[in-house]
């Protein structure tokens, strides 16, 4: 095998490898220190190199996006079910980073425990402080642990899908440290405000999700080349959902202050990081 290239984006490397597979060229992906190395057989090197140049210029071309479907049509002998499951798992892991996956797993574990007969002990262990005097205790995890609590299937599914998408995007393009900072800031500050205004009975990752949405959206506008972006319609939907929460028309009670201050933190962080950049108009 001969090294063809090293790409910083694991998903891009996998997309290229999938497409080359449909062309009869086998690619081996090897994880380097900071990138994914693509290797091909010597006799396929020139063909793969030419295609790589085309891929780098237009990685969103339809032929690359539909590579997996093309493989099954062109006869990888109809990928078995377990192979498709492995592909989905690979894409799930490649999009995210270690901290994204850690919080995802913790939320799932906590939710499973709460629906398995352990709601009361789990809730009492992770909920925010019940009294301001408790702030002086050693249980400092209570400032952010309510973000791990969820109270229904739709609640946790909605939050984790956004967390995986936005958190993975930030961790892949920025760093795990940046995502950790946003998680802590968007948990501790909004949770504390919510407590003082409405009491300690709340939970969910949505405040963090709003922070990530605001951060990704504004960063994408002010620094389009940074690899982060969130379409305006999705951001409008998030803001509309936030506003509706204040009118109690979307079902169970919502921790509105958590959402509002989470969004404010994400926007403020993005504004601070891009303060020296010129804003690029959005068409």
30 neighbors 39 (Cβ within 8 angstroms) = yes
Residue of 208, 213, 205, 206 whose CA lies nearest to 110 = 205
How far is C-alpha 120 from the chain's CA centre?
Answer: 29
Instruction: List the catalytic residue out of 176, 187, 206, 229.
Output: 206
C-alpha span between 28 and 267 (Å, rounded): 40
211 has a pLDDT exceeding 90? yes
Give the pLDDT score at 120: 93
Quick one: average pLDDT of 178-196? Answer: 94
Count the Cβ atoms, other than its own, within 10 Å of residue 195.
25
How far is C-alpha 35 from the chain's CA centre?
Answer: 19
- 136 is an active site residue: no
Structure tokens at 241: 């959902």
Give the pLDDT score at 225: 83
Q: Is the residue at 280 inside a domain?
A: no
C-alpha span between 202 and 254 (Å, rounded): 8
Structure tokens at 283: 């068409």
What is the residue range of 78's domain? 2-93
Let me know whether 43 and 125 are in one domain: no
Structure tokens at 93: 């892991």
Let me know whether 165 and 257 are in one domain: yes
Instruction: List the catalytic residue out of 95, 150, 155, 259.
Output: 259
Count the Cβ atoms, other than its own, within 10 Å of residue 73.
11
Give the pLDDT score at 277: 67
Q: Is the residue at 282 inside a domain?
A: no
Q: How would you classify the pairing of strands 36-40 and 27-31?
A: antiparallel
Domain endpoint, select from 93, 112, 143: 93
Kindly indicate the confidence band of residue 73, based on its pLDDT and cuts at 50, 70 and 90: very low
Q: Is the residue at 279 inside a domain?
A: no
Kindly indicate the confidence band of residue 232, based on its pLDDT and cuts at 50, 70 and 90: very high
Q: Is 175 strand, coil or helix?
A: coil
Quick one: average pLDDT of 65-71? Answer: 58
C-alpha span between 57 and 140 (Å, rounded): 49
C-alpha span between 257 and 245 (Å, rounded): 10
- 155 is an active site residue: no
> For the domain that residue 127 is a member of, what is the CATH number?
1.20.1540.10
* Long-range contacts of residues 80-87, Cβ cutoff 8 Å, at least 24 apart: none
Q: Is 39 strand, coil or helix?
A: strand
Let me know whether 27 and 144 are in one domain: no
Let me know whether 49 and 100 are in one domain: no
Lowest-confidence range among 23-32, 172-181, 258-267? 23-32
Let me know whether 109 and 35 are in one domain: no
Let me know whether 63 and 143 are in one domain: no
46 has a pLDDT exceeding 80? yes
Let me know whether 135 and 55 are in one domain: no
Lowest-confidence range among 57-61, 62-66, 259-263, 267-271? 62-66
Q: Is the residue at 169 inside a domain?
A: yes
Kindly report, residue by residue over 96-130, the tens digit of the pLDDT.
889 999 999 999 999 999 999 999 999 999 999 88
- Looking up tokens 């994408």 gives 220
Kindly indicate the confidence band of residue 251, based on its pLDDT and cuts at 50, 70 and 90: low
Kindly indicate the confidence band of residue 281, based on its pLDDT and cuts at 50, 70 and 90: very low
Helices (H), 96-246: 98-113, 119-126, 153-162, 168-173, 176-198, 206-222, 232-245
C-alpha span between 219 and 112 (Å, rounded): 35
Q: What is the pTM of this model?
A: 0.67
Domain endpoint, select from 49, 73, 93: 93
Q: How many domains does the chain have?
A: 2
142 has a pLDDT exceeding 60? yes
Kindly report, residue by residue over 26-42, the tens digit of the pLDDT.
888 887 767 888 888 88
Give the pLDDT score at 67: 66
Let me know whether 120 and 251 are in one domain: yes
- Looking up tokens 């996998």 gives 14
C-alpha span between 152 and 270 (Å, rounded): 31
> For the domain that residue 36 is a member of, what is the CATH number?
3.30.70.2350
H or E segment at 2? strand 2-7
Give the pLDDT score at 74: 40
Q: Is the residue at 281 inside a domain?
A: no
């Amino acid at each position: 095998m001969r090294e063809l290239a090293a790409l910083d984006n694991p998903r891009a490397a996998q997309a290229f490898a999938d497409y080359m597979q449909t062309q009869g060229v086998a690619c081996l992906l090897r994880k380097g220190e900071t990138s994914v190395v693509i290797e091909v057989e010597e006799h396929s090197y020139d063909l793969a190199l030419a295609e790589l140049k085309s891929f780098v210029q237009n990685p969103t071309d339809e032929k690359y996006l539909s590579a997996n479907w093309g493989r099954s049509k062109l006869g990888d002998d109809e990928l078995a079910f377990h192979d498709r499951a492995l592909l989905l798992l690979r894409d799930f892991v490649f999009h995210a980073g270690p901290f994204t996956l850690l919080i995802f797993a913790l939320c799932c574990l906590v939710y499973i425990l709460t629906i398995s007969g352990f709601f009361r002990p789990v809730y009492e262990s992770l909920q925010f402080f019940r009294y301001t005097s408790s702030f002086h205790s050693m249980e400092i995890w209570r400032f952010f642990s309510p973000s791990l609590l969820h109270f229904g299937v739709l609640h946790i599914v909605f939050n984790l899908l956004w967390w995986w998408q936005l958190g993975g995007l930030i961790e892949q393009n920025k760093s795990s440290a940046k995502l950790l900072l946003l998680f802590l800031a968007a948990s501790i500050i909004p949770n504390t405000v919510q407590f003082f205004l409405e009491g300690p009975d709340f939970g969910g990752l949505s405040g963090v999700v709003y922070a990530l949405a605001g951060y990704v959206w504004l960063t994408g506008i002010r620094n389009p080349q940074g690899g982060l972006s969130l379409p305006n319609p999705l951001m409008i939907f998030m803001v509309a959902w936030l506003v509706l929460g204040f009118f109690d028309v979307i079902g169970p009670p919502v921790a509105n202050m958590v959402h509002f201050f989470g969004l404010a933190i994400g926007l403020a962080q993005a504004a601070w990081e891009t303060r020296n950049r010129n804003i690029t108009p959005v068409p």
